[in-house]
Structures are given as structure tokens and as C-alpha cells.
Structure 1
Amino acid sequence: MHPRARQLIDARGLAPHPEGGWYRQVFKSEERVVRLHDGANRSALTTIEFLLVEGTHSAWHRVQSDEVWHFYEGDPLELIVRDDKRETAVVLDEDYRVHVVPARAWQSARPLGAYAFVGCTVGPGFEFDDFTMTGD
């Protein structure tokens, strides 16, 4: 593992994530909203820090709300998004730092080098009840 990746895990208190990589929740809004498509009552917004290292990936998964990916540091990150119409791959890096994954779209990610440190903001906020993973 790249020394900076190990430093991030230790310094930021990152824990293993079920989809792969390491994470920690950094914000969960106390404001509550009702999600329009299913009436679920959720935190207005949640944010995590997320780290993927060489040889790992974020398994195919989807959440019930829009998710904004933010690139912080490291090597580029490939983010693949699949909906009913198409599959799109984007690379997050120093030049393209933010990408939105629409609610209920399938997504997967992998670092294109030693490590990628990113953030993910979900609104309405993320709950594990809203998380579906394929295991791939």
C-alpha cells in the first residue's frame, strides 16, 4: 500500500467499507426531508471521505439519491455509471474534480494508480437501507 494511503487511513480514522475501500462519514445533516420518489424520511445531506487503493475497487452498487463525487488527491479515479439507457466512464482527477451520479444509477469505481482519495455527498442523505450492491 502506498505510504500516503496508509497515512490517510490512520490520520482520518477510515474504516473498511462494505463495497470496498475505506471510508468515514464526515457530515450528516440534522435537517430531515421526505424523498419524493418513495416518501422516505432522510437526513437532508450526508458526506463521506472514501479511499481506494491499487488492486481494490468499489463494487457495483446504487443508492436511492443523487451522489456527488469529489476528487481530493492521489491518482485519477475511474467512475463507471450505468443506467437503463447507457454506461458512461469518467475519470476524476486534478482537472475534472466533481461528477454527479443520478439517483438509482448503478456505479463502480477504481483507482488508476496507487490510490485515490475522494468524497461522496448524497442528498437526500445516505442510509444503508437505500444501498444495493451486486458483489462484483
Structure 2
Amino acid sequence: MKKADYIKYLQLQPHPEGGWYRQIYHSDDHFVPSTVNQERYYYTSIYFLLDTKSPSHFHRLKHDELWYYHAGDPITIYCLLPDGSASQTILGPHLEKGEQLQFRVSAGTILGSAVNEAGFSLVSCAVAPGFDYHDFEIFDQQTLLAQYPDQRRVIERLAYQQIPADSAN
């Protein structure tokens, strides 16, 4: 299937951080995690489709996020860690090349992702406790370059020069 087919059949909508998404699941029950002292679902899960023109811009969540590869081209998840280091993980179907089918981004890690080829990638992302925009922080280039100067190339690719008003929700 083509990118447009996935967007149509999965009923995906534009995502504020880039790409297209739709929340698919969330737990039936709520609780109040000590990390935010506000009611959250136990988990949430989305379909998330990215292409080379629409990456996932650098952002941070207060909770762990699990990424699951489904279809399309390999995608790299770039992580800027709280200790000042950086890492990257490739999700994709080529296990013999070291690609992975799933990956956990730890709470508090700044992450962005980009498709590696001139195509698209379909993944799912699950967050526990469940995703809420109050737990979401998006970053601009100036802020990240001050903290991670050695990561200039990827920051200039995946961080906004200026955060669009509709990205902060």
C-alpha cells in the first residue's frame, strides 16, 4: 500500500509534532500517577505515519513511550538524553541489518524521528501512563543547540527554528 492508502484506511489526521496519527486505544480505567498528580489513562496507543517531508520534531514526554514498526521504510529515532549524550535506533523490517521492530524511549528523553528513505514509515506509539498534552514539551533549535552542541546536524533537521503555535497544544 501507498502512504495515501494508510492515511485513508486508518483515518489518520495531521499531528502537531509532524506526520499523521490517530489514537487507537486507551485503557478503560484512569488513575493519578505521582509523576503528574493528575488523572491519566493507564496507557494510550496511536498509529503514527511519517514521511521524509514530515518528521517527528524533537519533543519530550514525562512517561515512557514504546514504538512499534509496522510498514514502509526504516525510521530512525534520535534520542537526546538527560546526561547530555545522544543515541539513535533504527526501526524497520531488516533485522539482519540491526534494525529493530520495537523500541522504548524512557521518560524525560528528548526524541525526534525521521524516515531514512524517500518514502514513509508506519509505526505505533504506546505511552504509559497515557499520553496527555500537559505531559508533552516540544523544542526549538536554539534551546537544544545550547544543551547538545555536538548534535547540530540532527537538531537542525528535527527541531523547529521557531515552534509553531499549533504545535504546543
TM-score, scaled to structure 2: 0.76
Tell me the residue number matched to 1:30.
28
Q: Assess if the C-alpha contact under 8 Å between 2:49 and 2:120 holds in 1.
A: yes
Which amino acid letter does the alignment assign opposite residue 138 of structure 2? M
Tell me the residue number matched to 2:133.
128
Q: Percent identity?
A: 30
* Cα distance in 2 for residues equivalent to 1:33 and 1:80: 30
Map 1:66-105 onto structure 2 (within 5 A).
Answer: 66-85=64-83, 86-94=85-93, 95=95, 96-105=100-109
Displacement of 1:30: 1.8
Q: Deviations over 1:46-79 (max 9, x none)?
A: 0000000122210100111100000001100000
Structure 1 or 2, whichever has the larger Rg, is 2
Q: Looking at both structures, which has the greater relative contact order when contacts are Cα pairs under 8 Å and sequence separation is at least 6? A: 1
Displacement of 1:82: 1.2
* Cα distance in 1 for residues equivalent to 2:30 and 2:3: 34
Which structure 1 residue ranges, 5 or more long, are not aligned?
A: none
Displacement of 1:134: 1.3
Displacement of 1:99: 0.4
Which amino acid letter does the alignment assign opposite residue 107 of structure 2? A
* Cα distance in 1 for residues equivalent to 2:7 and 2:108: 29
Equivalent residue pairs, number: 134
Higher share in strand: 1
Which amino acid letter does the alignment assign opposite residue 122 of structure 1? V
Higher share in helix: 2
Map 1:109-128 onto structure 2 (within 5 A).
Answer: 109-113=113-117, 114-128=119-133
Q: Assess if the C-alpha contact under 8 Å between 2:82 and 2:108 holds in 1.
A: no
Tell me the residue number matched to 1:61.
59
